Copies of this chain bind each other. A is one copy, B any other.
Amino acid sequence: MAGSFADDSVGLVTPRTVHFDESLALDSGRVLPGYTLAYETYGELNADASNAVLVCHALSGNHHAAGYNAPDERKPGWWEACIGPGKPLDTNRFFVVCSNNLGGCHGSTGPTTHNPETGEPYGADFPLVTVRDWVRSQARLADHLGITRWAAVAGGSLGGMQALQWAIDLPERLAHAIVIAAAPRLSAQNIAFNEVARQAIRSDPDFQEGHYATTGDRPRTGLMLARMLGHITYLSEAAMGEKFGRDRRGKPNDYGFNYDVEFEVESYLRYQGQSFVDRFDANTYLLMTRALDYFDPAAACEGDLAEALRGVTAPCFVASFTSDWRFPPAASREIVRALLDTNKRVSYAEIRASHGHDAFLMPVPRYREVFTTYMQRVAAEVGV
C-alpha cells in the first residue's frame, strides 16, 4: 500500500485519540472536566524515548501533519514538506507527534464536541484557550506516550509560538525549540486582520451567537470571508503577482462589467474560502485568532522579552522568510535578540523566499537545508 506514495512520504497514517479524565485548569479561570486529543505519529519511538519531536500546528491546521489518512487522499498532511524519511523531521530517526489543539475541530475536544454538562455541542460555550493552555494539554499527551523530554518541539506560525511557550513553561521537557515564521506577539495590524475575520464570522446571521450547531445552519459566509482575508496575508504581494498577476479567467479581452469572477485571483480566493468552510468550524477559528492575539510572553515581564525567556534552557532554532509580511523577519529577530540578551544558544536563519508567510509549509530548498542540518545535530545528540 505504501508503494503508492512517494518514497519520502510517511505514507498511510491512522489518526488516534486519547482521553484525559483529569480536569484541566485554563488561563481563563475556567476548568475543562477532562478532554480528548486527536493525534498522529510518524516514525518509531526509540527505547529510551529520547527521539520524540512534538509538532504544533498553526491557525487552521490539525494533527494530520504528514502522510495520508486514506490511499486515495488527494493531499498529504500540512507539513509534508518537512516530515518524512530524509526530510528535516526525518522519520527514520525521529518519532514525530502532532496533536489537534484543544479547541480544534478535527477530533480534539473543542466547540464541535459535546459538553458533558449539557450533552450538546459546546459551541460558543467552549472556553477560550491560550498558547499556555495548549502547552499544558500537550504535556499530558507526552506523559501518555511515555515521553519525559521531547528531542524538540517544533512549529511554524502559531505553532512556532507554542514551541517558544514550551521552552518558557516546561524547560526541562524539551531539548530544542524550533520556532519558524513566528513572532513574540501580534502587531496591531495582525490583530486588526484577526478582528475583521472575527467580525465577519460573528456578524453572519447564521452564527447565532456561536450556537449554530443546534440549528443546522453554519456561518458559512463569515468563515469564507475570514479565510479569503487570511489567504491574502499568507502570501506575499510578489507571490500573488507571480501566481495570478492580472490574469483574466478565460476572458482575455473585454471586461464583463459585473461582479462575476474577472481575475484569476478572485477565483482562487473564492475557491479557498468556500472549500475551507467545509472542513473548519467557525468557533474554532474565532478561538484560534484570540489565542494569537493574547500570545505575548513578554507581557508578564513588563514587556521585557529577554526576561520572559530567562528560564529557557533549550537551544532554539529560529527561522523567518524574507517575504513574510504577516510575521516578518523583524519579529523573529526580536526573539533571537532576546535569547542572545540572556546568553541562550540560538541559531537563526533568514531565508530568502518569495512565498510570504506560507513559505514555512513549502519545500524551499534553503529552508529544508538549514532545518535538516539543525535536526541532524539534534539527532546526533540523541544518538539516532
Which of B27, B228, B240, B286 touches A189 (beta carbons < 8 Å)?
B240
Q: List 21 A-B contacts (CB under 8 A).
A: A27-B257, A127-B257, A185-B246, A187-B241, A188-B263, A189-B235, A189-B240, A191-B263, A192-B232, A192-B240, A195-B263, A195-B269, A196-B232, A198-B259, A199-B225, A199-B273, A200-B200, A203-B225, A225-B225, A237-B325, A262-B293
Say yes or no: A229 contacts B187, CB within 8 Å: no
Using a Cβ–Cβ cut-off of 8 Å, how many residues does chain A contribute to the interface with B? 54
Chain B residue contacts of A294, Cβ below 8 A: 255
Q: A242's closest neighbor in chain B, by CB? A: B188
Count copies of this chain in the complex: 2
Q: Tell me whether A245 is interfacial, beta carbon within 8 Å.
A: yes
Q: Tell me whether A281 is interfacial, beta carbon within 8 Å.
A: no
User: Could you tell me the distance in whole angstroms from the C-beta of A374 to the nearest C-beta in chain B?
Assistant: 29
* Interface mask (A259-274 → B, CB under 8 Å = 1, otherwise 0): 1001101100110010
Chain B residue contacts of A228, Cβ below 8 A: 192, 195-196, 199
* Interface mask (A296-315 → B, CB under 8 Å = 1, otherwise 0): 10000000000000000000
Q: A129's closest neighbor in chain B, by CB? A: B257
User: Could you tell me the distance in whole angstroms from the C-beta of A355 to the nearest C-beta in chain B?
Assistant: 14
Q: Tell me whether A23 is interfacial, beta carbon within 8 Å.
A: no
Q: Tell me whether A4 is interfacial, beta carbon within 8 Å.
A: no
* Interface mask (A13-28 → B, CB under 8 Å = 1, otherwise 0): 0000000000000011
Say yes or no: A187 contacts B259, CB within 8 Å: no
8 closest residue pairs by CB, A with B: A28-B257, A188-B240, A188-B244, A128-B257, A203-B221, A189-B237, A188-B265, A195-B266
Chain B residue contacts of A344, Cβ below 8 A: none
Q: Tell me whether A186 is interfacial, beta carbon within 8 Å.
A: yes
Starting from the known contacts A189-B240, A203-B224, A255-B294, 15 additional A-B residue pairs (CB-CB under 8 Å) come to A27-B257, A30-B257, A128-B258, A185-B246, A188-B241, A189-B241, A191-B246, A191-B265, A192-B231, A193-B232, A195-B266, A195-B270, A196-B225, A198-B259, A199-B224
Q: A199's closest neighbor in chain B, by CB? A: B225
Q: A195's closest neighbor in chain B, by CB? A: B266
